[in-house]
Amino acid sequence: MWGGSVSVVELRGKAQGKSPQPARGGTVAALDIGSSKISCLIAEVTPAKSRQIESTGGNDLRLRGVGHQLSRGVRGGAVVDVDAAERAIRLAVDAAERMAGQTISEVHVNVSGGRPSSKLYVAAEATQTGQVSPRDIERVIANAMAQVDPGRRKVLHATPVQYQLDAARGVKSPLGMYGEKLGVELGVVTVEPAHLHNLMLVIERAHLNAASFVVAPYAAAKSVLAPDEGSLGVTLIDMGGATTSFAIFFEGNLVHADMVALGGQHITNDIARGLSTTIAHAERMKTLWGSALAAQVDERDMVSVPLLGEKGFDAVQQIPKSMLAGIIRPRIEETFELIRDKIEASGLRSFAGRRVVLTGGASQLTGVREVAAQWLDRQVRLGTPEITPGIPDSIANGGFAVAAGLLNHALKPDAQASVPKSENREQLVAGGAGYMRKMGRWIAESL
């Protein structure tokens, strides 16, 4: 499912001209920096015991450590308080390390903020000999990449959606084919450079190196999508705390990624405001009794709500659970309406197929799947992470899909994921023509 695409801000080996290689032993770690929680997973890479080794590079993962903390210093997926974010990261990593019985120095990290944006860039070049060579592919991709302003946007993922060779469109792998003119449609996902630099800053302050940066919905897809879903066309929606991000996959490639600035925290705030209660109790009510389907809630079923600032007899009110659903549903509808509009505006609705997979913490609310199906006019299922048999129930839910997907990416980093190293920071900031040529060469080598 995940072949044919490559990353853009790359690891040390790639900086030396090498293609990414699967993890073959030792330990890998994932760090999911979210607005509601920060999670760290540590896994041991072991030889595969099953025959299903194609997607894992011949290796399996055995989960060794789990740590998570209430997020601090992160809002809307972006770092807003470096000291607080650093402390939360340290606590999550320390908990995972203690459980695993070992320390880590390198983590694979998600990107959920920084105003991610997707765009198709088109370029064409004459072939040098009439037969497509790696150099021809490198040149045409570098020309497409050169259209991105490195001062304003930082490229995270670059995916050749299709090539054109003379009059033949829809060519998937042109290497070795004959033709006079080679064109490419390159799907590029970018973020604001400052956002990426701030993530690197807090990670480095926690004495860790970032092995890769992966846009959140792509990471989630690595743990919840079935191979055929990505091939036939699917939209993955990751419903986080402060943002809901989505990605469209077609023929195994990430072709579009975007986000809306709405998530589970907005639902919690709606409940707190609507019922005049505390944020903590609103979150508890959402978790225990939250539903987006008022029709399925008995009007006679009541819950107690402590009123904000009140004391004594008047400190608690009784409300029907249906009232809670009436607060939750409009925000869920707004979220999917915005996603629907963004998919339409992208012009890639035909790539998205007829299927949607929901994941993330907010996707676990009762009725979310039904509301998504109504607003998106698609078949919708809930996705749960799969990384290894016997995964603990505590993380076998959509809230850990991104972290689990980062581990799967680490096991086989052959897809569109960026991998900056601290010592390559100047190259990351500078970009430039030479940088773009390297991107083209790495993509050509991945074919």
Query: Looking at the domain assignment, is residue 5 inside a domain?
Result: no
Query: Looking at the domain assignment, is residue 442 inside a domain?
Result: yes
Which structure tokens are listed for 58? 């011949």
State the pLDDT at residue 61. Answer: 85
444 burial (CB, 10 Å; 0-12 / 13-18 / 19+) is buried
Helix (H) and strand (E) counts in the chain: 13, 19
16-37 pLDDT, tens per residue? 334 445 555 689 999 999 999 9
34-89 pLDDT, tens per residue? 999 999 999 998 876 644 433 444 568 889 999 999 999 999 999 999 999 999 99
Query: Looking at the domain assignment, is residue 392 inside a domain?
Result: no
Length of the chain: 447
Residue type for position 13: G
Positive or negative torsion for Cα 384, 390, 392, 393: positive
* pLDDT tops 70 at residue 384: yes
182-227 pLDDT, tens per residue? 999 998 999 999 999 999 999 999 999 999 899 999 999 999 999 8
Q: Tally Cβ neighbours within 10 Å of residue 135.
A: 14
Q: Helices in 24-160 by DSSP H: which ranges?
A: 82-100, 134-145
Q: Helices in 276-385 by DSSP H: which ranges?
A: 279-289, 321-346, 368-376
B/e letters for 271-285, b = 16+ CB within 10 Å, e = fewer, are: bbebbebeeebbbeb
Instruction: With beta carbons less than 8 A apart as the criterion, state whether 186 and 141 touch.
Output: yes
Contacts of 95 (CB under 8 A, 6+ apart): 40, 65, 66, 67, 68, 69
B/e letters for 27-54, b = 16+ CB within 10 Å, e = fewer, are: bbbbbbbbbbbbbbbbbbbeeeeeeeee
Per the structure, the complete domain to which residue 284 belongs is given by 273-324
Whole-prediction pTM value? 0.84
Kindly report the CA angle at 362 between 356 and 366, in degrees rounded to 5? 80
Query: Looking at the domain assignment, is residue 292 inside a domain?
Result: yes
Query: Looking at the domain assignment, is residue 289 inside a domain?
Result: yes
End position of a domain, from candidates 297, 324, 351: 324
- Count structural domains, the chain: 2
Query: Looking at the domain assignment, is residue 211 inside a domain?
Result: no
241-268 pLDDT, tens per residue? 999 999 999 888 888 999 999 999 999 9
Positive or negative torsion for Cα 43, 203, 393, 231: negative
Query: Looking at the domain assignment, is residue 279 inside a domain?
Result: yes
Q: Quote the radius of gyration of the chain (alpha carbons, Å).
A: 23
What's the CATH code of the domain at 173?
3.30.1490.110
pLDDT, average across residues 224-237: 91
* pLDDT tops 50 at residue 371: yes
Contacts of 277 (CB under 8 A, 6+ apart): 271, 285, 305, 306, 307, 308
End position of a domain, from candidates 283, 302, 324: 324
Query: Looking at the domain assignment, is residue 436 inside a domain?
Result: yes
